[in-house]
């Protein structure tokens, strides 16, 4: 049978050519692909940064100690020692600033307390550099939040921190809001800390990789912290929180004089502005009261100072400090004024003890403040 083509055209049907159509991509579309990839990369990076911030913010919320490793590390060590004890020891927390940190050696205090009472003892130095009465009140409440209630709280009074020379307490410059929880921010503001602590808290909460950068570096590589930032270094367990002073022996006289002059602009004005009716003085009263309400015995001591530092007091500030000591003593609290306990050679800068004097420093605190507080009234 002939095909239709053969009938109509008089010949066989020619082969059908296979034509492949090639579609060209428009140039504008080719140029758009790198842009879409770049946009996706940027969006992915932003989302990743947001997730990192959310994760760190959640970690800081669930573990508030991340905000303040300067206190969290020794507090965890103290808690671990207390919880692992099996013989119901007498537990003692030393609260204070670097004056306590350098000067009080808990191991020596434990020996003295055990010898005097016959009870085993766990003592720990929970100092934080720059801490005053308001900071110590915060630290006391942090201990309670951990479930650690010491039998005895030995509370340092660093005289300049009782002042509020320009409105805010003198210690406000050393205790930033990024190291606090929000309830702690509200607490310190009730003692007239500046509103800046709330701003610092928000920066650390909503952008924690920036706001908590110093804390994170301090936990990972303390030596990378810039000069002037206190390092949360791990201390040997036998130190029990004591920060062994850098200077072992009495320092050369020219170094001591230079240190005094360096500290003068930092502390002289505050020392002359001490009063017994400031927010820090009220925080000290509140701290003592709260300790008593929780059944914790209190011993309070005014830190030793060299004669050069004691010369910074005005007659009014000296009277105010003595009046506060007398008021607390009248309420039944053991309070001692230790400003003249040690000679000038015991200090590297007028208020921090050198290492060779740390034992003498500790014995003064133990014998004149701690042991009297433990005696039956």
Give residue 248's pLDDT: 85
In a domain, 126, yes or no: yes
Indicate the pLDDT class of residue 21, thresholds 50, 70 and 90.
Answer: low
Give residue 7's pLDDT: 37
In a domain, 298, yes or no: yes
- Specify the CATH number for the domain of residue 282: 3.40.50.1110
Per the structure, how many domains does the chain have?
A: 1
Helices 182-190 and 196-206: angle between axes, nearest 10 degrees = 170
Please give the average per-residue pLDDT across 289-315, as a whole number. Answer: 98
Q: Containing H/E element for 33?
A: helix 27-62
Indicate the pLDDT class of residue 47, thresholds 50, 70 and 90.
Answer: confident
Of the candidates 159, 109, 123, 155, the residue with the CA atom closest to the CA atom of residue 361: 109
Indicate the pLDDT class of residue 204, thresholds 50, 70 and 90.
Answer: confident
Please give the average per-residue pLDDT across 327-343, as a whole number. Answer: 98
Number of other CB atoms surrounding residue 288 within 10 Å: 21
pLDDT exceeds 60 at position 243:
yes
Q: What is the pLDDT of residues 76-85, one digit of tens each?
A: 999 999 999 9
3-state secondary structure string across 167-231: CCCHHHHHCCHHHCCHHHHHHHHHCCCCCHHHHHHHHHHHCHHHHCHHHHHHHHCHHHCCCCCCC
The count of residues in the chain is: 377
User: Coil, helix or strand for 152?
Assistant: strand
In a domain, 201, yes or no: no
Give dist(CA 335, CA 358) in Å, integer: 21
Task: Compute the chain's Rg from CA coordinates.
Answer: 33
In a domain, 254, yes or no: yes
Please give the average per-residue pLDDT across 342-352, as a whole number. Answer: 96
In a domain, 150, yes or no: yes
Per mean pLDDT, which range of 81-85, 200-204, 311-315 is the poorest? 200-204
Give dist(CA 318, CA 314) in Å, integer: 6
In a domain, 167, yes or no: yes
In a domain, 94, yes or no: yes
Give residue 28's pLDDT: 56
Of the candidates 119, 126, 121, the residue with the CA atom closest to the CA atom of residue 146: 126
In a domain, 78, yes or no: yes
Question: Which residue range is the domain that position 336 belongs to?
Answer: 65-174+184-192+231-374
User: Coil, helix or strand for 297?
Assistant: strand
């Amino acid at each position: 049978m002939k095909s239709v083509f053969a009938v109509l055209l008089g010949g066989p049907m020619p082969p059908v050519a296979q034509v492949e159509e090639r579609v060209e991509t428009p140039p504008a579309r080719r140029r758009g692909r790198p842009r879409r990839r770049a946009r996706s990369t940027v969006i992915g990076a932003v989302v990743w940064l947001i997730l990192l911030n959310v994760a760190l913010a959640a970690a800081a919320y669930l573990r508030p100690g991340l905000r303040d490793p300067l206190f969290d590390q020794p507090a965890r060590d103290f808690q671990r020692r207390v919880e692992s004890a099996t013989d119901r020891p007498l537990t003692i927390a030393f609260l204070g600033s670097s004056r306590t940190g350098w000067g009080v050696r808990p191991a020596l205090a434990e020996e003295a307390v055990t010898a005097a009472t016959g009870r085993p003892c766990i003592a720990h130095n929970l100092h934080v550099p720059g801490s005053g009465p308001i900071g110590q009140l915060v630290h006391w409440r942090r201990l309670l939040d951990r479930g650690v209630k010491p039998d005895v709280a030995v509370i340092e009074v660093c005289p300049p921190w009782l002042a509020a020379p320009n409105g805010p307490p003198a210690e406000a410059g050393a205790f930033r809001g990024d190291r606090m929880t929000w309830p702690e921010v509200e607490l310190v503001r009730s003692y007239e800390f500046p509103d800046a602590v709330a701003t610092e808290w928000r920066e650390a909460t909503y952008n924690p990789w920036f706001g908590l950068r110093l804390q994170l570096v301090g936990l990972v590589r303390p030596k990378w912290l810039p000069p002037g930032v206190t390092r949360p270094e791990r201390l040997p367990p036998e130190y029990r929180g004591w920060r062994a002073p850098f200077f072992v022996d009495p320092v050369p006289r020219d170094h001591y004089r230079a240190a005094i002059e360096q500290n003068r602009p930092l502390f002289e004005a505050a020392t002359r502005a001490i009063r017994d009716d400031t927010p820090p003085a009220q925080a000290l009263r509140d701290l003592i009261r709260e300790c008593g309400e929780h059944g914790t015995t209190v011993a309070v001591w005014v830190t030793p100072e060299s004669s050069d530092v004691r010369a910074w007091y005005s007659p009014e500030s000296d009277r105010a400090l003595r009046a506060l000591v007398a008021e607390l003593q009248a309420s039944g609290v053991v309070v001692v004024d230790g400003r003249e306990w040690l000679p000038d050679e015991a200090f590297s800068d007028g208020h921090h003890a050198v290492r060779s004097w740390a034992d003498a420093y500790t014995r003064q605190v133990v014998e004149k403040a701690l042991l009297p507080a433990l005696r039956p009234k």
